Every structure is written in structure tokens, then in C-alpha cells.
Amino acid sequence: MDLNLTAEALAFQDELRAWLGANLHRPWREELRDPAATEDSLVELRRAWQRKLYQGGYLGMGWPAEWGGRGATEVEKAIFDVELAAADAPPILNILGIGLLGPALIHHGSEAQRRRFIPPMLSGDEIWCQGFSEPGAGSDLASLKTAAVLDGDHFVLNGQKVWTTFGPWADWIFVLCRTDQKDRYGGISFVLCKLDTPGVTVRPLRQITGESEFGEVFFEDTRVPKENLVGKIGEGWRIAMTVLAYERGASSLSYSHRFARDLRLLARALEERGRLSGSAREKVARLVVENEVMRANGIRMLATFAEGKAPGTESSLEKIFWSEFDQRFRETALDLLGPGGQLLRSSPGARPDVDWAREFLWSRAGTIYSGSSEVQRNIIAKRVLGLPQT
Amino acid sequence: MRFELSDDQQLLRSSTRDFFTKAAPLEHSRRIMEQDARGFEAPQWRQLAEMGYVGLVVPADRGGQGLGAVELAVVAEEAGRVCLPGPWLDAVLAAALLAQANGQDELLRQVCEGHKIVTIARFDAPFAGAAEPATRVEGAKLRGTKYFVPFAVAADALCVVTPAGVVLATAPFDVTPTSTLDLAQRFGTVAFDHVATPLGPASLLEGIDRLGAVGAGAMLLGIMQRCLETTLAYVNTRAAFSRPIGAFQALQHRLANMLLRVESTRSAVYRAAWCVDANHPDTALACATAKAYAGDAARLVCGETIQMHGGIGFTWELDVHLYFKRAKTLEQFYGSTEEQLERALDASGFLGADR
């Protein structure tokens, strides 16, 4: 066992810290509570931040050099996530483009598609959203119905996508659509569609936080040029599964940094009020312990990367752990803070340290998106525990 | 960077598993439990000591193996898998304590060789909430009572924690043996009126407590791992409603929860062990975390093991209750969950921070 970072990894960490020190002027927490901040202004702020990261050479680090890559290892990519979390940098705006579509194009796209789509994706000039879920296809994604019928040089799209994150601000969408009604998996294709194409309607959906980060996207006889097909017809499911693997990563370690920061602020707020005794003290201590276990899981995952192994089902365990911890943490924080914990950011009297009310609401999302806790437990039961399937 | 064990550590794991499986099969341990008030057998104990398991973390030049906390975790995990009877972890910790004290080389050698049994006497009350220390050192004499003294009946000497520091008292002892849930872990109430040999200040225990947290956490890990394996085997064969019960999602998701606890405990325990050996700044927090989490995790895993076995899981005949009981003992000793939570909070640096 050796849980120390290598000299190379430490050098990368130092370089990144220095870069962040010089380039990140205000933590995201403070941007969010700027009285002048609006949903649109925050999007633009994130776009500008993404451009800075791109110019600094920190986006697409693991991709081939011609697409912005620098031969970064999985460990360096994980360090990147951790350091950005520790510095409380704004979240990367085009995370779905860079996290999912980028790898799809690099592995399955044509040369022309890579040249056309990757540079503006990295610079933040074109924001992507993900058209996977449908009203009738959530956890059971392969039952999706959005149809793509070939008509000359175009696909004609009809159907509806939903829970489309960034839909309201995005320029483009990558769509999983059905090109064969009979073949459940082999009848799915992966198509890129510009959102201002005639026949596309994007409608924001208001979330429980009051924000509209996601929306729904309708296709009515939408004509998409044939060259916007990624891979071959019928390869969509396979491509989607490969790119979803990229959505994973050593998330525990970066989450544990964020949670530790908020836990420290919670402990301080309680201590100031003389509330850190008895049952409150035990509750905070339990959260500290669970967060440290998450950190240990993250360090173990990092070591797995360092040995050149791809994460397998560990990522399901990791996701269940952080998302369910997030809920326990945020609920407990409100319990301990009292009604003041419910104050909205814009309200007089709200605590300036953490937007506790918003975090509480947001914690409900983590156990649903990107493979619900139920789906993750099914994956573990089947692939790790090898339990009989019905 | 590597989480996996080194080749030597893996060899230690496989040889320990072989040895424990042969030397301490559960049917043998059951006989000790039910028939031997000492909680272990002398020949088996000496064999364990001869293999180097008692002096595991004692420096080689003091008669031990000179191994670290990671190796302790490896052996403790295997001990947990077989629910090893006897004072193994207690003796390992007492030996580590004696190795830090001066002038105890002869006793230490005999402990490492298995000729003498020494454990640490800590509890000032039988139930939680002792406000006053129950032992005191008056001149050269140790007086008072200690409760839940591990393997007191068999002890040749005891390291006793008092307000004046840690002192050594030697047999004979006035012991009232007690019986607890886990009959392979024997405790006794000891009334002292003994010559007290000073071993050192109470701060000696800081390092011992961390080793105890790692050792107990790793035993809990071994227990949980074994429980999960046993339960998986059972749900794959036991049929109800014309299918193996493991096919029911109501059980599958709970088994996934068990795996989550087992693997998270593994991360926490081995990270803590590594921190101890590396003298890492996170050591105190990592050790408290490992023990507190392992205790909670084992409640769930061992409890679910009984539940998923149904009626047979509640019988004396099936082995799962042995694991359930040992887990409860380990949870309350070697720094209870309550104590570890407090240590974790202290070590987090979140209290009274930069005011």
C-alpha cells in the first residue's frame, strides 16, 4: 500500500494550484450570493470561466493533443476535479458536451465531426445538452421512442426528450433516437441536432429550487442532416454506454472536499450559537465520519486509477454513497440550524456562508440523475454480487 | 500510489488465512466458548504466539515481528473472518504498550512467545457514565476496581490505566468472572490491592488506541465480509415462491447496501492503517473514522445476515450469531462508537477553528 501521490502528480497539483490562485478571483459561493446575480449572468460567468480553463490547457486533458489534450493521466484528471472543488471554482458550463459528447466523438465520430464540434465545445461557444431521457423512458432508457426516419439526406425526428439539463441555454443537443422499431438496443442511433432547427421546441421546466436548469425538448418533423449521425445507424446504444462510463470518475474525493468545507461552516455556525453539544454534536460527528469514509473511498479510487485500472462497478457504490450522504447532510444541517436554515439566498437574514436551503433542495436530485440509486443497486446486485435475475 | 497490499502483505494474508482456518475452525471455537471459562486453549495460544502473531507490531529487537498497522489490519481481518477466540487483539495491544515502557523486556519476550498473558484494564464502571476513576495509586500500591478486564482469569499481568498513568500489576488477581454475549471474549471484574510498577504516562495510550481502532475496525471488516459471503451463498440456494430468494429485488438492494458498507469499511480501515504507518497528519481522524464507521456498518451487515437467513438465522446451531455477537463486543470496546465520534470531531479541526 502506498497512498502518496507520485512526484509527477504532486507537480501537476502544484502547477494547477498556482494557476487557480492566479486565475480564480472569487469562489463560486460568493458569485451565487452576489445581489446582482441572475440565472443568465451566472451562465455567462461560467462560460467565461470555462474559456479560461480551456486557454490554460485544462479541458479535455486526456484527449489526443490536437483536441486540446496533454496526455493527462486519470490521476491528473481526478486531481483537477479535487482542486477545482477545493478552490470552489464555478462548475464547468459545458460539462455534458465535454464529459459525454467529447469522448463519443473522439471514439466514434468522424474526423469532420471532431473538427466541427470539439473546438467550440471546449471554448464554451457552443453549449450542449443531453437528449436521453423521455417521458416514458427514464431508468428504462432503452424503451425510448423518439423516432428518426431517413428521408434523402436528412433524418426526420419526431418525439420528446425530458429532464434535459442545460436545455434552456444550450445551442445543440445530442439525441438518442429510434431508427428501428423492432430492435430494442440495435434500433437506437446517436444524432446531433442544433436547437434552432425548425421543428424543435425547448421548454424550460421549473425545478423544485425555482430554477430552470433543465427543460423538455420537442421534435416535430425536425430535419437533421445525415452527416450529424455519430457512428453508424444502430450504434447509438453502444456509444451511449461508452460515454456514460466517462461520466464516472473519482467523484468521491472532490465531493468530500466540498462537503468538508460546508461541514466546517455548519460546525462553526452551531458553535457560535452554543448549539454544538448533546445530540447536535453527535449528529455533526457522524457526518464528519461519513465524509471521511467518502474521502477514503475516493483515495482508494484514485489509487485504482493510478494503477491503470478502469473503474468498474465501484462507481455505482461511489454514487450511492455521495448522493445519499448529501441528503442526510443537508437535512441534518436544516434540523440543526433551525428555521433560519430555510431562508432563501435572497431573503433578509440568510446566512452568508452556505445557501443551506438551496443545497437541501438540490440534494434530492443526486439520487435520481445519471442512474438513480435504484438502478445503481440493480447494477451492483447483478454485476458485483452476481445475484439471480428474474 | 497503490491501495492494494504489497506482495509480502498478500503472503501474510494467505498464510494467516490458512493457519486460522486450520488452527481455529469455528467448531473448535464453539467448544472453547461453551466449555472453557478462560475463553481460549493454551496450546492453541502458544502456537499463535510462535507464529509471531502476538508480537506482530513489537519491534524485532524486542522479540516481535516489527510489522506495522497495515499488517495488523491484514491479520485482524482474518481473525474476524474466523471469529478468533481468545485475547489476541488485547495481547497485541498490551505487547505494543509494554514495548513502549522501560524495563519490561523480559515480560514482553514472554508475552510475544505466548508464555504469559497480559491485557489492558481500562473500564472504571460496568455501565456507561463513570464520572470518577475507580482505581488509584497510593504510594507504591494500586487500589480499586476495574471492570470488563479482558481475559482477567487467565492474565499473568495487567496494564492498568489510572489517573497517575499506566501501571503494571502482576497475578494473582481477585477476579469475578463475568459472562457476556460473546462467550469467546471473556471479561472479569478485578479488585486491586497490588504493587504498582509504573509503565508511563496515560499519553502512552494514544498510539495504542489508534492501533486498537485499526485492529478492531479490521476485525469488524473480516466479520462483515464473511457475513456477506455466507448470506450470498444462502440467498442463492434457498428457494421460495419457486425461485432463489436472491432473485427478489427486496433482498438485492439490501445486499447492495451490505456491500457498500463492507467496501467503504475496507477503504476506511486500510487508509487508517496506512496513515498510522506513514505518520500522516490525518492519522487521528482516519483511525477514529475507521472504528466508528466499522461499528455502525457491522450492525447493519450482521443484522441483515440474521434477517435474510430467517428462522435458521436465529438458532444457536448456525454460526451467524457468533459474528453478530463479536461485532457488538468490538463495537463497544477499543474505543466505543461514542468515543470515536468525539475523537473524530476533535481531530477534524472544525471546532474553534481560526477565531
- Write the CATH number for B344: 1.20.140.10
Residue A246 confidence (pLDDT) above 90: no
A247 is catalytic: yes
> Same domain for A342 and A323?
yes
Contact residues, chain B, for A300 at CB < 8 Å: 3, 266-267, 270-271
pLDDT band at B12 (very low <50, low <70, confident <90, very high): very high
> Same domain for B216 and B145?
no
> Same domain for B16 and B55?
yes
Q: CB contacts < 8 Å between A and B, how many?
A: 160
> Average pLDDT for residues A88-96, to the nearest whole number?
93
pLDDT, tens digit, for every residue of B77-121? 999 999 999 999 999 999 999 999 988 999 999 999 999 999 999
CB–CB of A3 and B274 under 8 A? yes
> Same domain for B192 and B223?
no
The answer to the question of residue A150 being in a domain is: yes
How many structural domains is chain B composed of? Answer: 3
> Same domain for B211 and B124?
no
Residue A158 confidence (pLDDT) above 50: yes
The answer to the question of residue B173 being in a domain is: yes
Residue A240 confidence (pLDDT) above 50: yes
How many structural domains is chain A composed of? Answer: 3
**pLDDT more than 90, % of chain A:** 79
Last residue of a domain, which of A32, A67, A93?
A93
The answer to the question of residue B1 being in a domain is: no
Residue A170 confidence (pLDDT) above 50: yes
| Chain B CB within 8 Å of residue A297 CB | yes
Q: Which of B253, B290, B344 sits opposite A377 (nearest CB)?
A: B253
Average pLDDT, chain A: 93
CB–CB of A289 and B342 under 8 A? no
| B255: containing domain | 205-348
Quote the pTM value.
Answer: 0.95
> Average pLDDT for residues A114-135, to the nearest whole number?
95
Q: Which of A2, A6, A292 sits opposite B285 (nearest CB)?
A: A292
User: What is the C-alpha to C-alpha distance for residues B9 and B4, in angstroms, rounded to an integer?
Assistant: 9
Chain B: give the shortest CA distance to residue A292, in Å.
Answer: 7
Last residue of a domain, which of A74, A93, A112?
A93
| Chain B CB within 8 Å of residue A293 CB | yes
The answer to the question of residue A98 being in a domain is: no
Residue A247, pLDDT score: 62
| A197: containing domain | 128-244
Q: Which of B243, B247, B256 sits opposite A380 (nearest CB)?
A: B256
> Same domain for A351 and A298?
yes
> Same domain for B95 and B161?
no
User: DSSP 3-state assignment of A2?
Assistant: strand
> Same domain for A267 and A337?
yes
> Same domain for A171 and A291?
no
Written as nine digits, the cell of A130 is 443531453
User: What is the C-alpha to C-alpha distance for residues A183 and B1, in angstroms, rounded to an integer?
Assistant: 45
Angle between helices B337-348 and B283-309 (to 10 degrees): 140
The answer to the question of residue A119 being in a domain is: no
Contact residues, chain A, for B3 at CB < 8 Å: 1, 3, 299-300, 303-304
A27-36, A190-199, B57-66: least confident range: A27-36
Average pLDDT, chain B: 95
Chain A: give the shortest CA distance to residue B354, in Å.
Answer: 10
Q: Which of B4, B244, B259 sits opposite A385 (nearest CB)?
A: B259
Residue B353, pLDDT score: 53
Backbone phi and psi for residue B88, each to the nearest 5 degrees, phi listed first: -55, -55
Higher pLDDT, A271 or B34: A271
User: DSSP 3-state assignment of A27?
Assistant: coil
The answer to the question of residue A120 being in a domain is: no
| Chain B CB within 8 Å of residue A307 CB | yes
Instruction: Tell me how crowded residue B4 is: count the other CB atoms within 10 A of its CB.
Output: 15
Q: What is the C-alpha radius of gyration for chain A, rounded to an integer number of angstroms?
A: 22
> Average pLDDT for residues A205-223, to the nearest whole number?
94
Q: Which of A2, A317, A381 sits opposite B253 (nearest CB)?
A: A381
| SS3 of chain B | CECCCCHHHHHHHHHHHHHHHHHCCHHHHHHHHHHCCCCCCHHHHHHHHHCCCCCCCCCHHHCCCCCCHHHHHHHHHHHHHCCCCCCHHHHHHHHHHHHHCCCCHHHHHHHHHCCCCEEEECECCCCCCCCCCCEEEECCEEEEEEEEEECHHHCCEEEEEECCEEEEEECCCEEEEECCCCCCCCEEEEEEEEECEEEECHHHHHHHHHHHHHHHHHHHHHHHHHHHHHHHHHHHHCEECCEEHHHCHHHHHHHHHHHHHHHHHHHHHHHHHHHHHHCCCCHHHHHHHHHHHHHHHHHHHHHHHHHHHHHHHHCCCCCHHHHHHHHHHHHHCCCCHHHHHHHHHHHHCCCCCCC
Residue A370, pLDDT score: 86
> Same domain for A271 and A354?
yes
Residue of chain B with shortest Cα separation from A315:
B260
Contact residues, chain B, for A381 at CB < 8 Å: 249, 252-253, 255-256
pLDDT, tens digit, for every residue of A268-326? 999 998 989 899 999 999 999 999 999 999 999 999 888 888 767 788 999 999 999 99
Of A247, A290, A314, A318, catalytic: A247
The answer to the question of residue B354 being in a domain is: no
The answer to the question of residue A102 being in a domain is: no
> Same domain for A179 and A218?
yes
The answer to the question of residue A113 being in a domain is: no
CB–CB of B263 and A297 under 8 A? yes
The answer to the question of residue B274 being in a domain is: yes
ipTM, two decimals? 0.96
CB–CB of B341 and A1 under 8 A? no
CB–CB of A293 and B344 under 8 A? no
pLDDT, tens digit, for every residue of B36-87? 888 899 999 999 999 999 999 999 999 999 999 999 999 999 999 999 999 9
A74-83, A237-246, B208-217: least confident range: A237-246
CB–CB of A296 and B344 under 8 A? no
> Same domain for A261 and A234?
no
Chain B: give the shortest CA distance to residue A385, in Å.
Answer: 8
